[in-house]
Structure 1
């Protein structure tokens, strides 16, 4: 995160000139740490269960790891700087690409991992929604072009130029720099605005639903683990330690974990009876 902030501040010319050496030193340290981390992860990935199950040589397993999402993020974090250092490239877009290091936070943020998994699970549905939005965008651009082209040739001179208005309208942003002025154009714009309210909500709803489902699944996994660990209505220190590790891996809060444990203990106690008297303990 410090590295990303430094890259942002470096874009300010006055700050970049004053702290040029500090920024350069930070970049050297960062790229060294990130490179070592990447090499270690690449070398040790063959010991993970996920990649150890892949048939073939360790080279094949490492190739699978290289093209995994998290490994690609790690590579993107170091590649721009390596290109600038070793090939003496000083291209502006390479400097901007260093900001992609912010995606390394997904490795350490459970919430970001949940969101990423939600994108993956709903990938096909999201693509379908975006395709429909693209169709509506083109139709809106064509429509406003036909209605406003003769009146405002400077603003709606072509369909691509009209796409700016259509995009701002479909996303309900409405910058106001380009607006229809004819009655029929205003009516058309109103219809597009009403349509866009539902269109924009579709991807948001899909992601929210998938995110909630991911959280529910992780809670269910933890609850099942608690149910399996309970012995005679209690949990040993060893079991609690195991559940704590699982809680951390699943990204659940301690409040959620304690609630799940309490529920499972209560359910187990309700089904326990004394063998001698037949009463609940």
Structure 2
């Protein structure tokens, strides 16, 4: 009985099998609750509203933390039956430990930890109220776009690290150079290399607030050179992410197209195969129109394959 409940919970959390509808409803409920929490935290920062509706904010936070805590514990308990461990030889304890250190589990813990500390620790921890906004990262679980971006960052971690390392070196060089050229003239702004880093950061990021600027001739020339270099430096991580993001999209579309071709080889897409295709489409984060376009491309590339409706799977020829 307990094992059946655990498997059902895993099905709901992953929106699979007979619990798919309940899974979608549960996800919609949690997304609504997360948005409501973020809105409540923002409104609570207004002193007049915080004073007038203090009881409501407190009760709402208690209920939310209770729900998020139950969800977190339930996910940990049911993690042994998740798809990622379907072919794993790990023991249930090791599976749960593996799940606990996963990014989404860490985000779930961060979502409830600040509030738990506020209620349990008898100190003034009002600064933790702001950290409750990190709860919005729980939406990553339900956003295919955010998951795609996280996958992109993970795959390009080494390239991004190299880019940021180069930017750090240039930052130190820029701060050191402007310090040598300007510290005698403007000791209040360029009196040390750490102080000069503020100018280097806003210059390298092309923000240019104008609150700290060089006044000597050599300082202005050096500042111009750094400004020109900064245009290329900022574009490096942006280009890496954009290129990898596009590659991730291409991989997902290729995966869907390959599945379509495989299912169309016998000339028939039955109801179960259509359900399988739709599940893959949702998993890959593709829209109905995009999936239909990919199916049309597969049919055009292979004229012997028949034309099917992307919604019902009926033959259109």
SS of alignment partner, residue 174 of structure 1: coil
What's the C-alpha RMSD, in Å, of the aligned pairs? 1.6
| 8 A Cα contact 1:77 1:101, kept in partner | yes
Structure 1 residue 8 corresponds to structure 2 residue 55:
no
Question: 1:275: which partner in 2?
Answer: none
Question: 1:278: which partner in 2?
Answer: none
Task: Give the drift of 1:92.
Answer: 3.2
Which of 234, 256, 279 aligns to 1:245? It is 279
Unaligned regions of 5+ residues in structure 1, if any?
273-280
Structure 1 residue 210 corresponds to structure 2 residue 244:
yes
Cα distance in 1 between the residues matched to 2:45 and 2:118 = 16
SS of alignment partner, residue 269 of structure 1: coil
Q: Deviations over 1:114-137 (max 9, x none)?
A: 001111000011011111111100
Structure 1 residue 38 corresponds to structure 2 residue 72:
yes
Greater mean deviation of Cα atoms: 52-61 or 222-231: 52-61
Question: 2:297: which partner in 1?
Answer: 263
Task: Give the drift of 1:7.
Answer: 1.2
Question: 1:24: which partner in 2?
Answer: 58
Cα distance in 2 between the residues matched to 1:267 and 1:213 = 22
Which of 154, 157, 161 aligns to 1:120? It is 154
Relative to 1, partners in 2 of residues 1:149 and 1:69: Cα closer, same or farther, differing over 3 Å?
same
Cα distance in 2 between the residues matched to 1:271 and 1:229 = 10
Structure 1 residue 171 corresponds to structure 2 residue 191:
no
Unaligned regions of 5+ residues in structure 2, if any?
1-34, 307-316
Greater mean deviation of Cα atoms: 50-59 or 260-269: 50-59
Relative to 1, partners in 2 of residues 1:51 and 1:237: Cα closer, same or farther, differing over 3 Å?
closer
Task: Give the drift of 1:183.
Answer: 1.0
Cα distance in 1 between the residues matched to 2:178 and 2:216 = 10
| 8 A Cα contact 2:114 2:128, kept in partner | yes
Query: Normalising by structure 2, what TM-score?
Result: 0.82
Cα distance in 1 between the residues matched to 2:213 and 2:264 = 65
Query: Normalising by structure 1, what TM-score?
Result: 0.93
| 8 A Cα contact 2:41 2:132, kept in partner | yes
Task: Give the drift of 1:238.
Answer: 2.3
Map 1:118-157 → 2, pairs under 5 A: 118-157=152-191
4+ long deviations beyond 6 Å: none
Which of 121, 141, 144 aligns to 1:87? It is 121
| 8 A Cα contact 2:267 2:305, kept in partner | no
| 8 A Cα contact 2:299 2:305, kept in partner | no
Cα distance in 2 between the residues matched to 1:48 and 1:89 = 39
Question: 2:224: which partner in 1?
Answer: 190
| 8 A Cα contact 1:233 1:268, kept in partner | no
Q: Deviations over 1:84-103 (max 9, x none)?
A: 11223431332221111111
Cα distance in 1 between the residues matched to 2:95 and 2:175 = 48
